[in-house]
Structure 1
Amino acid sequence: MIIYEVNLTVVQTRSEEFVAWLNDHIGEMLQFPGFRSAKLCHVKVGPEVKTNSQSYTVHYLIQDQAALDSYLETHAARMRSEGIKLFGGDFSASRRVLSQLLFLPD
């Protein structure tokens, strides 16, 4: 399994609007082949936590690297442009790709 991590920071004044949009955006992402599930987390502690902004991390669990590559080549530019169009300079995003080594269920 592949974890596609998206780290997001948005100005405090737009955080509620941003999270509402992000919930819908995540639902759209889960329609792509190979995207199995997603977790949205509010970042509570870390270097990105500032008093005038809110930070979030999304982990998408993806079937394999081929599914991620297909998304990146075919859909990523369009999906990313939606956030830029709506929130412009009021948010920032960075991404990482992780390979899951171990999963211990509850």
Structure 2
Amino acid sequence: MIIYNVTVNIDDSAHDEWLTWIKDHIPQVLATGKFIEAKLTKVLVKEEMGGQTYSIQYRAHNKEALAKYYKEDAERLRQDGLKRFADKMLAFRTELEIVDEYTVNFN
């Protein structure tokens, strides 16, 4: 399984609008059929540059599904965010491969 992680630092002046936007954007990304789930998380470490930082983690079945997303959907889906928040956000993307997963069973 592959995690496509998008880390975003959003300026405080655009935070509320961005948070509303991203909560609408994530279902659009999932609607491409390339991912099976997504998590929106807030990074709790304060950045020197200010603003607030979030991580959006999309799970894909494999690298092929992610490659297909890049080829068919990524550019189109990024454009709206770039137009709205270009000078208010900084984003970087990371691809992660799940090696193993562990859970705790309290039963």
* TM-score when normalising by structure 1: 0.91
Q: Assess if the C-alpha contact under 8 Å between 1:35 and 1:61 holds in 2.
A: yes
- Cα deviations by residue, 1:9-68 (Å, 9 ceiling, x for unpaired): 11101111101100111011111223010111111116xx24731110011011111110
Which residue identity does 1:87 align to in structure 2?
F
Give, in whole Å, the separation in 2 of the partners of 1:50 and 1:13: 16
3-state DSSP class of the match of 1:33?
coil
CA apart distance, 1:91: 0.6
Give, in whole Å, the separation in 2 of the partners of 1:40 and 1:25: 11
Q: Assess if the C-alpha contact under 8 Å between 2:5 and 2:94 holds in 1.
A: yes
Task: Report the identity percentage.
Answer: 31
1:9 and 2:9 aligned? yes
Q: Flag the 1:92–1:102 CA change in 2: closer, same or farther, 3 A.
A: same
Alignment of 1:82-93 (within 5 A): 82-93=80-91
Q: Assess if the C-alpha contact under 8 Å between 1:9 and 1:56 holds in 2.
A: yes
Number of residue pairs the alignment of both structures matches: 104
Aligned to 2:30: 30
Q: Could you say what the CA RMSD is over the residues aligned between the two structures, in angstroms? A: 1.4
Q: Assess if the C-alpha contact under 8 Å between 1:34 and 1:64 holds in 2.
A: no
Which residue identity does 1:90 align to in structure 2?
K
Which residue identity does 1:79 align to in structure 2?
L
Give, in whole Å, the separation in 1 of the partners of 2:86 and 2:49: 20
* TM-score when normalising by structure 2: 0.90
Give structure 2 stretches of 5+ with no counterpart.
Answer: none
Aligned to 1:20: 20
Q: Flag the 1:30–1:57 CA change in 2: closer, same or farther, 3 A.
A: same
Q: Flag the 1:15–1:50 CA change in 2: closer, same or farther, 3 A.
A: farther
Tell which structure's C-alpha radius of gyration is larger: 2
3-state DSSP class of the match of 1:78?
helix
Which residue identity does 2:69 align to in structure 1?
Y
